[in-house]
Amino acid sequence: PHLTGCRSRELVTFWCRWSSGSFSNLSEPGALALFYQMKTEWQECPEYTPSVQNECYFNRDFTRIWTIYCIQLRSTSHTHNITYDEQCFNVENIVYPDPPISLNWTLLNISRSRLHFDIMVRWAPPPSAEVHTGWMSLKYEVHYRVQNSSHWDKVGHIHQHLHPSIRLIGHQKISKYIKG
């Protein structure tokens, strides 16, 4: 058994997941338990997610930023008290925001030869990210490629409020994606 990771979308809540691995006797619900420690004593998971097996959810009452969390994956057998895996982290280091929304592009300029054109890529932050309050700042990477090509070009780390322009070669269909 091992921890598979912890994630937060917005610094306010987070969840941790685990796998029982190849131990079939530990694959039953409740055979493994997640414990956490913020300052002193170990406590069991505040809320096991009913709809997702092997997941513990920490709502806003149990989430503190700039605090080190340590979590342990343990057996719940009364005869054996085994700790299988342990990790420590800060919530701000496990933030993986939802993808941006409203991805769009605008044609800015076409060269005289009509072989090159410039586009501006626009998007909006996901609703789950609290960027409007200043609580969270997002940086994005814009990736684009000629359609059916395996090579992606990348426009570096872009702050959420900037929208890059990209020079492209005409008569090519372009695929693009944004990575937060």
Q: State the CATH number of the domain containing residue 88.
A: 2.60.40.10
Q: How far is CA 62 from CA 11, 54, 77, 131, in A?
A: 12, 18, 26, 22
Return the H-helix or E-strand segment holding 159. strand 153-159
Region of poorest pLDDT, from 35-44, 95-104, 157-166? 157-166
Range of the domain at 34: 2-93
Q: Give the residue from 58, 77, 93 where a domain finishes.
A: 93
Residues 166 and 132 in one domain: yes
Q: Give the residue from 93, 121, 139 where a domain finishes.
A: 93
Judged against a pLDDT cut of 60, whether residue 101 lies above it is answered with yes
pTM: 0.72
When divided into structural domains, the chain yields a total of: 2
Residues 11 and 86 in one domain: yes
Residues 84 and 107 in one domain: no
Residues 57 and 88 in one domain: yes
Region of poorest pLDDT, from 2-6, 52-56, 79-83, 171-175? 171-175
Cβ distance 67 to 90 under 8 Å? Answer: yes
The structure tokens listed for 88 are 């420590």
- State the burial class of residue 32 (Cβ atoms within 10 Å of its Cβ: 0-12, 13-18, 19+): buried
Residues 141 and 88 in one domain: no
Q: Give the residue from 65, 93, 121 where a domain finishes.
A: 93
- Can you give the pLDDT at residue 39? 80
